[in-house]
Structure 1
Amino acid sequence: MLGAGNHGAKHVAIAGNMGVGKSTLTAALAERIGATAYYENVAGNPYLERFYEDMERWSFHSQFTFLSQTFSQHCDILQADAVCVQDRTIYEHFHVFATSHLEQGLMSADEFATLEEHFLALTRVVPGPDLMIYLRAGIPTLIDRIRGRNRSIEANVQVEYLQGLEDRYERWMAGYDASDVLIIDTDNIDIHDVDQREMLLALIEERVAGRPAKAPFAKISRRRRAAAVSNAQSAVDHSSAALA
């Protein structure tokens, strides 16, 4: 079990496309290392179901809400005394989802500019995570996993939408420099298989503890961590006002 006093990662973020296995890994890793898990608040976003019904109408509202929710989580993590594992970060909601929505014609330039201003304001007052774990998978794998979890709101997700997100994920990760990064290819990993899950969690645990770890499905790179800025919580109330 790891604690906040260890010379390792205190804030571990898990990134990746829809269906790649972020929530499953977040739960398994948090249990393994005795960390607090923070999940993307899908049920708490009142615009998400409407977004899947009419993407152009509700893209901005949905992503603005996710940005605000995830920022609030980030502030809680900064104040926590324990190691924390976060399922999806503020960076993805802007650099991947909002940007992809703009590119796919699901968000207007004015809406994107508003989100960008909001995102830049929020990221001025929080540091990056200590470790970003990026889960990568091909589109066929993502589709199989999305179908397997059988969420009704995702029933009509199109391949083109997933591909747009995947392309944006790869471009985002190519330039990401807010923290150390661990990239894991998950096409051939079944986290529900005991042996494979154990191998994966052992690899990640070593990296979270600050020790080098190698595996045939993983790529490790050291990135610059953004400087922490104090008084992060003061921006939470401000961020909630823009949708009023």
Structure 2
Amino acid sequence: MKIAIFGTVGAGKTTIVNLIAKKYGHQIFAEPIAENPYFDDYYREMKPFAFKMQIYMLTARIQQLTQAQNLSNVIFDRTILDNPVFVKTNHDLETMNNPDFKTYNDFYDHVIIPWISQRQDFDLVIYLKVSTDKAIERIHKRGIKAELQLPKKFWQTLNKNYDKYFKIWKNYFNFVVIDATTDDLNLKMDIIYKSIAEIETKIQNN
């Protein structure tokens, strides 16, 4: 089974990815941050690096999908479904200009979406829906320097755009929505495991 996690920074993706991988033996495709040459610069000064950052992340995630194509059991920390969320957030906050925004979206709409539609990359997408305040609390708790520099408005806008894109993507992908605001990990995992079991049954019966 191929599983994707969808949700803002601070939603609790990494913990849930690791638990799913441990239980089912899935290979993890983590977010390509360590090798990202734009990460620190982007969080320090978004305007000059927003377009480069998003093109890099899109390319890296396409590479991950290609690598995972012939694997049976994989889980993605983030995917190309998340990319337009960050791009729109940059544009909303005026850290990405109109020409870059249009160029990115034209490429995404005319190249990436047709490419996605021809593939079956995700059997299940797990949307970790979290309040902005809880996400910020977790961001501060884990203390990644680059993330701590950003104002609350960034996280509010990002979270709002996750909701917007969920309403789009849910028409095309099999989603389960998890209340990620709660810190009750057992409750969240019980719902996720049940959803995975249901999908596995459907796959076996097809």
Same fold flag (TM > 0.5) = yes
SS at match of 1:91: coil
Q: TM-score, normalised by structure 1?
A: 0.75
Following TM superposition, where does structure 1 have runs of at least 4 consecutive aligned residues deviating by more than 3 angstroms? none
Give the number of equivalent residue pairs. 195
Q: Does residue 140 of structure 2 align to residue 147 of structure 1?
A: yes
Aligned position for 1:215: none
Higher helix content, 1 or 2: 2
- The answer to whether structure 1 residue 138 and structure 2 residue 127 are counterparts is no
2:193 counterpart residue number:
205
2: CA distance, partners of 1:138 / 1:189: 12
Pair 1:42 & 2:33 matched: yes
CA distance in 1, matches of 2:2, 2:199: 16
- Alignment of 1:188 with 2:182, yes or no, is yes
- 2:87 counterpart of 1:98: yes
Give the Cα–Cα distance (whole angstroms) in 1 for the partners of residues 3 and 197 of structure 2. Answer: 11
User: Does the CA contact (< 8 Å) of 2:129 and 2:179 recur in 1?
Assistant: yes
Structure 1 unaligned regions, length at least 5: 1-9, 213-244
TM-score norm. by structure 2 comes to: 0.88
1:188 CA displacement: 1.6
| Residue 113 (structure 1) aligned with residue 102 (structure 2) | yes
| Offset of residue 152 of structure 1 | 1.4
Matched, 1:67 2:58: yes
CA contact (8 A) 1:35 1:84 kept: yes
Secondary structure at 1:19 match in 2: coil
Check if 1:87 corresponds to 2:81. Answer: no
Are 2:178 and 2:191, in contact at CA under 8 Å, matched by a contact in 1?
Answer: no
* Partner of residue 44, structure 2: 53
Q: Which amino acid aligns with 1:91?
A: L
Shift of 1:122: 2.6
State the alpha-carbon separation in 2 of the partners of residues 78 and 208 from structure 1: 19
* 2:158 equivalent to 1:170: no
**Following the alignment from structure 2 to structure 1, what is the Cα–Cα distance between the partners of residues 197 and 106?**
35
1:11 counterpart (2, 8, 11): 2
- Distance across 1 between alignment mates of 2:130 and 2:188: 15
Q: How far is the alpha carbon of 1:211 from its aligned partner?
A: 5.3
1-structure distance, mates of 2:27, 2:144: 25
Residues 130 and 180, structure 1, Cα contact 8 Å, conserved in 2: yes
Shift in Å at residue 210 of structure 1?
2.4
Counterpart secondary structure, 2:126: strand
Q: Which moves more between the two structures, 124-133 or 34-43?
A: 124-133
* Kept after mapping to 2: 8 A contact 1:32/1:201: no
| Conserved? CA contact 1:102–1:112, under 8 Å | yes
Three-state SS of the structure 1 residue aligned to 2:5 is strand
Structure number with the bigger relative contact order (C-alpha 8 A, sep ≥ 6) is: 2
CA shift, 1:29, in A, is: 0.8
Aligned-residue sequence identity (percent) comes to 24
On the 8 A contact 2:4/2:79 being kept in 1, the answer is yes
